[in-house]
Structure 1
Amino acid sequence: MTAHSAISAQIFDEDAQRIFAGAYPDVPVKLHHGLAGHPLLAIEALAGLADRMPAASVEYNLGKLPLGVRPEDTPANGLSLGETIRTIESNGSWAVLKNVERDAAYGALLDAALAELAPIVDARTGAMLNREAFIFLSSPDSVTPFHMDPEHNILLQIMGEKVMTVFPAGDEELVPAVQSEAFHAGGHRNLHWQEHFRERGTAVRLLPGDAIHVPVKAPHFVENGAGVSVSLSVTWRSERSVAESELHGLNALLRRRGLPIGRIGAQPERQGARRIAYRIMRKLGV
């Protein structure tokens, strides 16, 4: 299959684009897409992709995990990645293929999806930066623990069923400021879970053809259904997300020195003076 033939159909139709425009960048929202059943996203095609990917671009483990789990406590499944994908229906595992856009055909798929949304994004948060794609494969009843991600993200459900429970970004009981600061300094995405958090989340059921927009750093967890699940995540950064990261970095530097930290506003890209201060402090090694 050529990259051109792989992207001939519309991925996000006019209705999906309208719904996305009403939510972006701060509100999670369910969308529809046209990639369910796409041959590049079939199990055997993904196993072949995994076989040619570098080890640093894959992550996989047993899939039946608690909602809160420390990264170092995540159990391996004892299989190779190719075996994990080809036997995903019965091996009780979870896997992610990272940065699949480095493969030409999958890169074309990412470009096609994001091109349909770029005018909306450009008008709200500026040009799409660092565009990436990830593919998630999950055995029946797998759980992706409570975590957050640094990118703007749309998760497209390709095969199977899952429920994603999404929480508001910026809630400091869910994610204390010091944890945000550590996260932007390279800390792990997994978050501390407490059962009473559940009432603050919104559970969204995803079937093939459904998608969900997840705002930057909106905490979430995912519970897979009774069948194999395949999902494609298309992500990008923006001037806004980069600015937020810089401002958390500045607060971390100030906090370590016992100095007052600053508030990060709803439009951090406009806090230019503080961003410049952070860059200067980093350059000087302060």
Structure 2
Amino acid sequence: MDNKDMDNKHVFTAWDDTHSSLWGNQPIRLDHRLHQSALFSRDQLARLIETYPREHYSLVHTGARESRRLWREGEIGNLSGNQVIDAISRGRLWLNLRNVTGVDTRYRDVVDQMFEEIAAKVPGFTAPTHEAGILISSPDAQVYYHADMPGQGLIQIAGRKRVYLYPASAPFITPQQLEDIALFDVEVDMPYADWYDRHAIVFDLEPGQMLNWPLNAPHRVENLSTVNISMTVSYVNQDIRRAQMVHLANGLLRHRFGYQPKSRAIKGASFWSKAVLQKLLRNSAWVKKERSARRPIDFKLDAHQPGHILDLAA
């Protein structure tokens, strides 16, 4: 099935009233048909990788299960799309093709349709701004404990993964951590303790399934012995966007000016002053320097040994 076939079929296959009530309030698992689309075939993904803009992808090397803090970012180099997929199949690697909906209109059409279906089923739901990315990841690769700023969903296309979802409240996540994510654009630096897992809801995600969870809920992911293809979707409405602006402004006040902000209001005079502050400084040299220092590109894929990486000179 290609994206044209989707025109006459719903993305979701078994949505009921409980899903409408739970959406955004509790973690839920939904059934979809995107895994049947030719857009996610190996040939299509290989061609997509070969033409993907450098500024829109991240290639990450992670540690083994017992290692929680290895997180290096690298380059594809001159490998073909099929060589990249072969390398991912043999190493602990994640390739994130960010904003695929902005790069390729075929994926935009599918995701637009998906959000139209959600809006029709969830009273009051709006997502005027939304996008998606494609994740291709190794057997046994992991994504460490982290949280995201926009609303989030995870769509499984191929392979299996285990997703741990945690409460969106202290001690699992704090306002200061949200401020750091907004300011430094690095999600995986959050502190984590093994006992958090006793409070997690755990899902084993199969092809044809999607997860959605409450805004800013921390989560971590473990692949289960197979190459995984997934699509992440993110969405922003006015309240989410305003909260992001406040988190960024509060982070600037703490880290740049040494002031401890007290308000997280998304309305009123306090909000508008912070909206101006973050607009003036979000693209400043200081912010760019802090972000680049936290996300260095320090390896490339080895073209001669699939799954191996080569260190880049500092």
TM range (shorter): 0.7 to 0.9
What TM-score, normalized to structure 2?
0.77
Measured against aligned partners, the alpha-carbon deviations of 1:125-178 in whole angstroms (never above 9, x if no partner) come to xx3133111111122111111111112122111111111001111x23223322
Task: Please name the residue that 1:279 is paired with.
Answer: 275
Measured against aligned partners, the alpha-carbon deviations of 1:167-226 in whole angstroms (never above 9, x if no partner) come to 111x23223322211212233111222222222211111111111003322111101112
Task: Please name the residue that 1:187 is paired with.
Answer: 185
Whole-Å separation in 1 of the counterparts to 2:138 and 2:36: 18
- Change in Cα spacing, 1:258 to 1:84, as seen in structure 2 (3 Å) is same
- Change in Cα spacing, 1:241 to 1:17, as seen in structure 2 (3 Å) is farther
Whole-Å separation in 2 of the counterparts to 1:284 and 1:136: 33
Whole-Å separation in 2 of the counterparts to 1:26 and 1:185: 26
Once the two structures are superposed, the pairs formed by residues 1-286 of structure 1 within 5 Å of their partners are 3-13=3-13, 15-16=14-15, 18-65=17-64, 68-69=68-69, 73-74=71-72, 76=74, 80=79, 82=81, 83-101=83-101, 102-120=103-121, 123-124=124-125, 127-169=126-168, 171-190=169-188, 191-252=190-251, 255=254, 256=257, 258=259, 261-263=262-264, 268=266, 271-282=267-278
- Change in Cα spacing, 1:252 to 1:104, as seen in structure 2 (3 Å) is closer
- Change in Cα spacing, 1:281 to 1:55, as seen in structure 2 (3 Å) is closer
Q: 1:38 deviation in Å? A: 1.6
- Matched residue of 2:33: which SS? coil
- Change in Cα spacing, 1:63 to 1:46, as seen in structure 2 (3 Å) is farther
Whole-Å separation in 2 of the counterparts to 1:177 and 1:47: 40
Whole-Å separation in 2 of the counterparts to 1:8 and 1:51: 30
Whole-Å separation in 2 of the counterparts to 1:46 and 1:284: 39
- Matched residue of 2:88: which SS? coil
What value does the CA root-mean-square deviation take over the aligned residues?
2.7
The share of aligned pairs that are identical, in percent, is 24
Whole-Å separation in 1 of the counterparts to 2:249 and 2:56: 30
Q: 1:91 deviation in Å? A: 3.5
Whole-Å separation in 2 of the counterparts to 1:90 and 1:254: 44
Do the aligned residues in 1 keep the contact of 2:63 with 2:69 (CA within 8 Å)? no
- Matched residue of 1:246: which SS? helix
- Matched residue of 2:20: which SS? helix
Do the aligned residues in 1 keep the contact of 2:154 with 2:231 (CA within 8 Å)? yes
- Change in Cα spacing, 1:185 to 1:63, as seen in structure 2 (3 Å) is closer
Q: Gaps (5+ residues) in structure 1?
A: none
Do the aligned residues in 2 keep the contact of 1:62 with 1:74 (CA within 8 Å)? yes
- Change in Cα spacing, 1:78 to 1:104, as seen in structure 2 (3 Å) is closer
Q: 1:17 deviation in Å? A: 5.5
Whole-Å separation in 1 of the counterparts to 2:171 and 2:237: 26
Aligned pairs, number: 274
Do the aligned residues in 2 keep the contact of 1:100 with 1:106 (CA within 8 Å)? yes
Q: Gaps (5+ residues) in structure 2?
A: 282-314
Q: 1:11 deviation in Å? A: 0.6
- Change in Cα spacing, 1:283 to 1:115, as seen in structure 2 (3 Å) is closer
Do the aligned residues in 2 keep the contact of 1:247 with 1:274 (CA within 8 Å)? no
Q: 1:99 deviation in Å? A: 0.9
